[in-house]
Amino acid sequence: DKPAAAQRFVDVYGQLPDAIRRRLVIENDERQFNLADNLAIHAACGVPVLFDVFHHRLFNEGESLAEALDAVVPTWAGHGPAMIDYSSQNPQKQAGAHTISIDLGDFGPVLDELIGRDVDLMLEIKDKETSVLRAIDLVRERARSMPVTVS
């Protein structure tokens, strides 16, 4: 019973000590609680929403990535930068299986949507450092090609 579970969370969250509430976030998943569900929980109790790009692609209500980010970032007001998880589909496995190595062709458009947003991006990729270094190279490449405005 998803509505009852969400309400139980809201009720319990409100009773937690501040020290715990400051460390607790909720994340959209690929099966039960999508972004809209999490935003409703946030509206009820103020818990920040950690946004998982991959899960959103698998289970959403039609929100674009930009719309999702526009909705998620404000949930972090007073909590620091919004936390974003990025991964993509492993093409050799069933839907929902994380890729082994970053797909820069998939990551690039996500990176473009993050420009100008105050976020902490976490890569959920199996080969860890190898993909992080490739992602950093892409960030540097994009930064060099961005127009600079001097006022």
- Kindly report, residue by residue over 42-68, the tens digit of the pLDDT: 999 999 999 999 999 999 999 999 999
- Whether 117 maps to a domain, the answer reads yes
Please state the rounded mean pLDDT for residues 23-52: 97
Determine the Cα–Cα distance for residues 141 and 124; give it in Å rounded to an integer: 22
Domain count, the chain: 1
End-to-end CA distance of the chain: 55
Question: Would residue 134 count as lying in a domain?
Answer: yes
Q: What is the mean pLDDT of residues 10-23?
A: 97
3-state secondary structure of 141: helix
In a domain, 150, yes or no: no
Per-residue model confidence (pLDDT) at position 150 = 61
Specify the pLDDT at position 148: 63
Alpha helices (H) in 2-128, listed in sequence order: 2-15, 18-21, 35-45, 53-58, 65-72, 104-114
* CATH assignment at residue 94: 3.20.20.150
pLDDT band at 117 (very low <50, low <70, confident <90, very high): very high
pLDDT tens column, 73-97 = 999 999 999 999 999 999 999 988 9
By three-state DSSP, how is residue 107 classified?
helix
Q: Per-residue pLDDT averaged across 119-147, rounded?
A: 91
| Residue 84 backbone dihedrals phi, psi, to 5 degrees | -125, 130
**pLDDT score, position 28:** 98
**Domain range holding 63?**
2-145
Counting residues of the chain whose pLDDT is more than 70, the rounded percentage is 97
Residue 74 inside a domain? The answer is: yes
